Structure 1
């Protein structure tokens, strides 16, 4: 029996985001496209090496159904090398500025755990901060989010991208850890005046293969926190490793995993392949309205 009995309880999950004065409904799940301004992201086809390529890809993602574009300048794949703060700024700020100018309808998310990067990204036009560390890698991050007054994606992770694979022991249980972690962070963010929070369980971050699948199967347990869920499964090791394929061959598995996430309460899918994710949402929604 489920410890939290979330499936048997009606929770009122928040279903809107205020992004720069634009009210975004999450009643129907949305898509966030990944734009990596890095040379070493695990999926090579997600890397963009110049602004022209970035703008072309951004435009295609928006045409394919993305509502959000997530721009990152620091690869968080397991064992990724350190990137200096200045290098991260140099990578992401020109991209944010160019995308904001070319596609004013796009809602820009910035994938960073650094307060300065978050602050300067918001000044350039970013609407959301996506922090893989939940404020644990920069003590100024949560206060910065409070001052900025923008939505915050709170992810669960232990350690750093370089060490997280060593932090997969959860003596009290994985779900209990996530509930405790999110509850404490949400309370801190609320005290700082943050109104819009999304939760990301952090698939692949300080979690074993079996833990990832257990979490995917029990996503509904997190509904007790009454906040929208952003889920990032796209072409990850939990998909391509069991199938014995490469990340480049992991799109079919990603579609299956995203389908399961939607059936278990996902509100935003963070993906490399926007068109396929949008189509997945469309078909899942058909089953809900039939």
Structure 2
């Protein structure tokens, strides 16, 4: 899953794909590099300028429509917590709603059910969208994550989302400190054991930077290491900024596990 941010203030690319054509070019490059899914976001995850629903729709809906026209065989995801945005994107052909804020809008799952599309169920530790944790604590972070995402997945299915279209995301760094994100990575197999396919979104995140004492621009090697561990522990979908490097690393893991061999 390749990240394409239609935002001027992304923590990683600082607006490099905010322009419509730049975002289209980045999507085409990611697909050439081996991405299966393009994940389109119109609002920065963390603190920043307020983006209302109308502006988010303006940023993502025409783009999703054009992406669908140019790449009819690609899977397209929209990163949003708003049901209204999810519905508008579903109308133009999105395949998956990536709800990174743990059902903050309870109607988002209903949209996925109505349009027969996929849904990512996440964990944010009870935080409201676009807020950061403060002195967050868990008795057992993996147990909290597992309970939350499985509950959201079961609710989605009860609302009519097909079980084979639901993914769960432990959501590293959202409502968690570095210790929690490292613990989730080490124990990811416990989440995979629930039977729900696990998505991980770890690319260049703060827990990698804090662990290695590195700025965003220097976290590529750390990202690949975390992706490899996550794959070994059973993750199935990997949300990344560098699709080509991630694909190569994941194929190597598959070969080591005795699955599909890496490309020659």
Q: TM-score range by the shorter chain?
A: over 0.9
Cα distance in 2 for partners of 1:282, 1:186 equals 28
Q: How does 1:8-47 map to 2 (within 5 A)?
A: 32-44=1-13, 47=16
Residue 46 of structure 1, CA deviation? 6.5
CA contact 2:97–2:117 (8 Å) conserved in 1: yes
Residue 184 of structure 1, CA deviation? 2.0
Cα distance in 2 for partners of 1:47, 1:154 equals 28
Residue of structure 2 in register with 1:146 after alignment: 113
Cα distance in 2 for partners of 1:212, 1:64 equals 28
Residue of structure 1 in register with 2:262 after alignment: none
Residues 167 and 206 of structure 1: CA distance in aligned 2, closer, same or farther (over 3 Å): farther
Residue 181 of structure 1, CA deviation? 1.1
Residue of structure 2 in register with 1:276 after alignment: 245
CA contact 1:167–1:206 (8 Å) conserved in 2: no
CA contact 1:110–1:126 (8 Å) conserved in 2: yes
What do the CA deviations read for 1:203-243 (whole angstroms, capped 9, x no partner)? 01001100100110000111232111111110111112232
CA contact 1:231–1:261 (8 Å) conserved in 2: yes
Cα distance in 1 for partners of 2:173, 2:112 equals 25
Residue of structure 2 in register with 1:17 after alignment: none
Choose between structure 1 and 2 for higher RCO, CA contacts under 8 A separated by at least 6 residues: 1
Cα distance in 1 for partners of 2:232, 2:246 equals 13
Residue of structure 2 in register with 1:101 after alignment: 69
Residue of structure 2 in register with 1:63 after alignment: 32
CA contact 1:37–1:92 (8 Å) conserved in 2: yes
Residue 105 of structure 1, CA deviation? 1.7
What do the CA deviations read for 1:65-85 (whole angstroms, capped 9, x no partner)? 0000000001113x3443100
1:184 to 151, 154, 157: 151
Given the two structures, how large is their TM-score scaled by the length of structure 2? 0.92
1:159 to 104, 127, 141: 127
Residue of structure 1 in register with 2:225 after alignment: 256
What do the CA deviations read for 1:149-168 (whole angstroms, capped 9, x no partner)? 11101111121244341372
Give the RMSD, CA atoms, in angstroms: 1.5
Given the two structures, how large is their TM-score scaled by the length of structure 1? 0.84
2:202 to 233, 238, 242: 233
Cα distance in 2 for partners of 1:46, 1:269 equals 22
Cα distance in 2 for partners of 1:45, 1:106 equals 25
User: Structure 2: any 5+ residue segments left out of the alignment?
Assistant: 260-264
Query: Which stretch shifts more, 39-48 or 188-197?
Result: 39-48
Residue of structure 2 in register with 1:246 after alignment: 215
